[in-house]
């Protein structure tokens, strides 16, 4: 049986600097976009600003570059991951792509368990990077991929099992990078932070650091409204295997979003604002607007985990 392993995080102060022209050095420092045009159409008061971090500017195209890089660097520093080894984890797509990109850059093989209904684009990208894929039952979602990754880790003790759902290096990546960027880009004016729950790393890490800057900042988590949904990468926490890094008490409020509402928002963002985003990004905006609509003033910040290019095969784009 696979034994539980505690992976201790490493301080950013102990990690070596990157070469400025390396792939790794391009992770983070993504733009913060003003969603004013869409906010006006949604009836949000002009004294309320809604901003979103455009995470597709990361080199593999998603927010997952941040935790993937921190998990890998922490494991290297601790001697858990060495050149020539295989990195193993479960993924719904984006984290796997980040692992595969960084693995190719840093000399690691990458083996991934992911649901078979991951978008065709994601699977093609992963195979292009040379990742070994084990496709799991789509009806079991990300939880099925987690169970399969645990099984593979038990059979391959020489693999480094990254455990993105349980590894504190996941949320610490956002504590050390995402939150300070938001604080700096809003000049400390942020009043509300909204993010979806998958591993929960983005929400947990960003919330903890923003509250260190200003304890009065409100944090609102978002999740799908049911177990069976079309929001890839997000978990319906009441019915899911809860990540080890998930802190159910960190949110001031939780908002549930319908898949259909996220699809409609994705279409609106593309056609009315020129922002071609993925469905989890659109779901975050649905939740952020729900928060902003009830405010008289404030600065609401959310995250756009990726753009829409990995979802072009989804039928809703043809509406």
Active-site annotation holds for 109:
no
pLDDT tens for 290-313 read 999 999 999 999 999 999 999 998
* pLDDT score recorded for residue 14: 67
CATH at 191: 3.40.50.1100
Domain with 256, as residue range(s), is 25-57+174-318
Burial of 247 (0-12, 13-18, 19+ CB in 10 A): middle
- Last residue of one domain, picked from the residues 111, 126, 161: 161
* 201 & 296 share domain: yes
Is residue 289 assigned to a domain?
yes
**Residue 197 falls in which region: left (phi positive, over 0), alpha (psi -120 to 50) or beta:** beta
Average pLDDT of span 12-23: 77
Confidence of residue 2 (pLDDT cuts 50, 70, 90): very low
pTM to 2 decimals? 0.93
Active-site annotation holds for 64:
yes
Average pLDDT of span 217-243: 91
* 53 & 124 share domain: no
- The residue annotated as part of the active site, out of 53, 280, 281, 310, is 280
Reduced to 3 states, what is the DSSP secondary structure of residue 240?
coil
The pLDDT > 90 percentage for the chain reads: 83
* 220 & 298 share domain: yes
Is residue 229 assigned to a domain?
yes
- The residue annotated as part of the active site, out of 64, 74, 200, 281, is 64
Alpha carbons 223 and 232: distance in angstroms, whole number: 11
Q: Number of structural domains, the chain?
A: 2
Is residue 106 assigned to a domain?
yes
């Amino acid at each position: 049986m696979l034994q539980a392993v505690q992976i201790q995080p490493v301080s950013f102060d102990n990690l070596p600097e990157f070469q400025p022209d390396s792939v790794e050095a391009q992770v983070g420092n993504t733009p913060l976009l003003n969603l004013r045009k869409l906010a006006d159409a949604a009836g949000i008061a002009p004294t309320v600003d809604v901003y979103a971090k455009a995470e597709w500017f990361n080199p593999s195209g998603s927010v997952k570059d941040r935790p993937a890089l921190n998990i890998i660097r922490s494991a290297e520093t601790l001697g858990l991951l060495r050149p020539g080894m295989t990195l193993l984890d479960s993924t719904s797509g984006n984290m796997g792509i980040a692992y595969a990109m960084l693995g190719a850059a840093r000399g690691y093989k990458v083996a991934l368990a992911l649901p078979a209904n991951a978008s065709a684009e994601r699977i093609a990208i992963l195979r292009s990077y040379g990742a070994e894929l084990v496709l799991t039952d789509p009806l079991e979602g990300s939880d099925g991929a987690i169970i399969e990754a645990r099984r593979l880790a038990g059979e391959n003790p020489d693999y480094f099992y990254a455990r993105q759902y349980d590894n504190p290096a996941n949320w610490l990546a956002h504590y050390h990078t995402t939150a300070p960027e938001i604080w700096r880009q809003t000049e400390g004016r942020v009043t509300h932070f909204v993010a979806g729950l998958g591993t929960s790393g983005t929400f947990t890490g960003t919330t903890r650091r923003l509250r260190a800057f200003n304890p009065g900042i409100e944090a609102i988590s978002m999740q799908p409204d049911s177990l069976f949904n079309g929001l890839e990468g997000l978990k319906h926490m009441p019915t899911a295997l809860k990540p080890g890094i998930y802190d159910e008490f960190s949110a001031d409020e939780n908002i549930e979003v319908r898949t259909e509402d996220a699809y409609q928002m994705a279409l609106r963002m593309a056609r009315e604002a020129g922002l071609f985003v993925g469905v989890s990004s659109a779901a975050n905006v649905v939740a952020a607007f729900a928060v902003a609509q009830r405010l008289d003033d404030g600065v609401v910040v959310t995250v756009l985990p990726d753009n829409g290019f990995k979802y072009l095969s989804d039928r809703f784009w043809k509406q």
